[in-house]
Structure 1
Amino acid sequence: MRRAHSALVTAATALAVMSAPAAAGAGESGDDGMQRRLDALVDNGAIGVLAEVRDEHGVWRGTSGAAELGTTRKVPARGRFRAGSETKTFVATVVLQLVGEGRLRLNDTIEEWLPGAVPDGDRITMRQLLNHTSGLYDYQDTLPMPPTPEFFANRWRTWTPDELVERAVAEPPTSEPGSAYAYSNTGYVLLGQVIENVTGRSYAEEIERRIIRPLRLHQTSLPGVSPLIRGPHPHGYLPTRLQGRTYLVDYTEMNPSVFDAGGEIVSSAKDMNRFFAALLGGRLLPDRLLDEMTTPGIAGETYGLGLAWRDTSCGIRAYGNDGDALAYQSWTFATQDRRREVTIALTPGINRDLDDVVDAAVDEAICG
């Protein structure tokens, strides 16, 4: 049995590394403004960060911080990372491709494809699973989370989709189906099972066959139960409490089955930009289904069928998604005309609340 904890690094060591000089940007052209945004992320608590920006000037790649605590090793600009909920956009794309092929309908219910899987499954549709209006409890909220020591006991555990769904349906629904937006990873676990029932192949195989291979996303994979991130990558860390002190645990290696179809993908900034550009450019879905994808489930929300959007400070709307895979966080957004794209990935430290600093970096890339 593998040991449950990696070497512990104290918060003091982490802060010393985080305040070290930022690594120089790497890329085809310079962008001082974007580099300053990456440095600001490290100054505000990220351990390491990488980004790729594509615009009318070409491609720019930059990094800041350290790839591994206790070292001065630079973050690999083309490194891989766990992309968390950006996986959902891949899953949603496959589901909508099946809709386009007439093999599935957005108004099909869970009960039709997964009989008995959830209570009142005849009232919950594929559309509601995709846009987080199903009312199903999020199974992740039933699990221990860092910094509690209990969280780390599950590090190498293999979870099955049925186990994750069972944890969710043991809790009461958050709302009536279709009446409110409430983010739920449970819905995407169920969608992964639906894909398998429709096609006879796992959601991972369908993503590989329909998206990864055609788009030549050579740095993108669905690891299943493999704990490794192959190829160059920054290390990821999580906080834990021991004897009244906060430490950072190297959590780069872990069993990603706990994420399942809601968040297991490992990718790179280059591949994420390529995927979202292909999606928004109509290479993966016809216009009518892409329109469905960009329609919110509830008026006023900014999440459609596996795709999110944000209005930047300059008034330009950008489409994409973000992901939180515990020790890694990522964001990919692009303008609808694909003239500007950005992917940012970071490894958070003790301070994980970096949303405002990330928003400024996305604005820098989209608005220029």
Structure 2
Amino acid sequence: MDIKKLPISVWLVVLLLLVSGCSRGQTIEPVKAEYADSNLYQHMDLLLAGLVSDFIPGVSVYIETPNGGYAASAGYADLDTLTPMTSQSRIPNGSAGKKLIGLLGAILDDKQLLSLDEPVLPWVPKGMAGRIQNLEIMTLRQLLNHSTGIYEYNDVGELDFIRAQLADKAHRKGNRFALQFVLDQSPYFEPGEGFAYSNSGYVLAGVVIENKLKQPLGRLLHEHVLEPLGLSETFVKGYDCAADDVAAGYFFNMDEPDFVLPYRQRYNTRQLIVNTALADAPVASSAQDMAKLLKSIIVKKQPVNERIYRNMVGDRHLQTARWLPSFMDGALYYGLGVMVEKHEGGVLYHHGGNEFGFITQSVYLAEQDVAIGLIANCGAQDECDEPVIALTQTLITHFFANNSD
């Protein structure tokens, strides 16, 4: 039997078995939903309600199909105030926000305000220029498709980056805060000679774009991306006050007594995450806006045109991606902030985000014209991540199987 053709009723049992045993008396907020297809969504109510646990306080999902949209939520956005999670709830998007930076770069290139293929060296702060190798041959496109070989700031020392975050979690930290961990680190390879997912590349790209255009990244994102696409529930961290008004995020350290976050205690990461405003995880938004953004790129909704589309996900510029998550066991590639997964039945576009206290998923099934956005206020631990990813897989499998019949 092909597991990808299992009916959603069977996937429902699998997912509920996966999350069963996690819940420890947590009160579940009733699921709120707007229905477009009751054949699927009567099961979704059970899936979302079953997902809520000690490790997953709240979840919100938005699905857009050719037959209409669906929004549902369960659990809590804040456990202290018992504020329910709703379809309007926002959380930091983590790396799922990279597609916004990739799209911004492609739009600015299309408007001839910069070039994706010019060296970034002139726009790197002078104090950093001599301490990051290969800047003279490194391009913005390579930063955005992870082909520069630049060192990952999270890999420095024994969790040096998060330790520095925790030491001063009350104050804003921007791109230069993260780049200090990259200075004088040896690259993984020469630019253009490989692929290595690196948040540092997006952080440096944010600095380059700001210096080149002499405008804050937040202003550029609003002018060229958020407002033209009508993403009214997306806000830039460190720039929009509304980006601080997000659901609380929770990390529950069950396994490591010596870890930097408290052992066997639920830790609220909201202040830590919203005060770290980096270009590799630039925004907070709702599940609906996440779904809308990815679909807008692929269907070429204005201001996205054919040239912008090709720069972002066209075959010519895709990098073969290694060690990144796939959903359909297809060949996986990376464009500008978008993963492109080519499988037997077509193409799946996706990019999730995961950081302490938050996890997000955004998916677009091209042949089915289905966009999915999913957010939960937990993250960076298996008890949260595995059920959320399983739910995403369940939805992908359902829509793919229905279209294949």
Write the mapping of 1:163-242 to structure 2, written as runs, cut at 5 A: 163-224=177-238, 229=243, 233-240=246-253
- Match of residue 284 from structure 1: 303
Q: CA offset at residue 52 of structure 1?
A: 0.5
Task: Find the aligned partners of 2:342 and 2:391 in 1 and give their Cα distance.
Answer: 14
Report what 1:306 is aligned to: 337
What is the alpha-carbon distance in structure 2 between the residues aligned to residue 359 and residue 103 of structure 1?
37
Q: Which runs of 5+ in 2 are unaligned?
A: 1-21, 322-330
Shift, 1:17, TM fit: 4.8
| Amino acid paired to 1:288 | R
1:133 aligns with 147
Aligned residue identity for 1:353? D
Cross-structure match for 1:353: 385
Structure 2 CA distance for partners of 1:151 and 1:98, relative to 1, 3 Å? closer
3-state SS of 1:214 partner: helix
Q: Name the residue aligned to 2:326.
A: none
Match for residue 77 of structure 1?
A: 87
Q: Percent identity?
A: 21
Contact in 1 for aligned 2:352/2:359 (Cα 8 Å) = yes
After TM superposition, give the deviation of residue 153 of structure 1 in Å. 2.6
Distance 1:43 1:310, change over 3 A: farther
Cross-structure match for 2:108: 98
Q: Identify the residue that residue 16 of structure 1 maps to in structure 2.
A: 24
Which shows bigger deviation, 237-246 or 113-122? 237-246
Shift in Å, 1:166:
2.5
Q: Secondary structure at the match of 1:353?
A: helix
Q: d(CA) in 2 for partners of 1:160 and 1:56? A: 40
User: How far apart in 1 are the matches of 2:242 and 2:221?
Assistant: 20
1:262-315 CA distance string (max 9 Å, x none):
103011122222222222222233213312311422375421111113457x83
Matched, 1:320 2:344: no
Report deviation, 1:176.
2.3
Q: 1:42 aligns with which of 21, 35, 52?
A: 52
Question: Does the 8 A contact of 2:346 with 2:367 survive in 1?
Answer: no
| Corresponding position: 1:252 with 2:302 | no
Residues 52 and 173 (structure 1), Cα distance of their counterparts in 2 relative to 1, 3 Å cut: same
Q: How far did residue 353 of structure 1 move?
A: 3.4
Displacement after TM superposition at 1:318 (Å): 2.3
Aligned residue pairs, count:
351
What is the CA–CA distance in structure 1 between the aligned matches of 2:368 and 2:230, rounded to whole Å? Answer: 18
Give the alignment's TM-score, normalised by structure 2. Answer: 0.76
The 1-side partners of 2:372 and 2:365 are apart by 9
When normalised by structure 1's length, the TM-score is 0.83
Instruction: From the superposition, tell whether residues 100 and 347 of structure 1 become closer, same or farther in structure 2 (CA, over 3 Å).
Output: same
The structure showing larger relative contact order (alpha-carbon pairs under 8 Å, at least 6 residues apart) is: 1
Q: Contact 1:128 / 1:297 at 8 angstroms: preserved in 2? A: no
Specify every segment of 5 or more residues in structure 1 that has no aligned partner in the other structure, as ranges: 1-13
Is it true that 1:161 corresponds to 2:175 in the alignment? yes
Q: What is the rounded CA distance, in whole Å, between the counterparts of 1:307 and 1:266 in structure 2?
A: 18
Q: Note the C-alpha offset of 1:328.
A: 1.1
RMSD: 3.2
Letter matched to residue 283 of structure 2: I
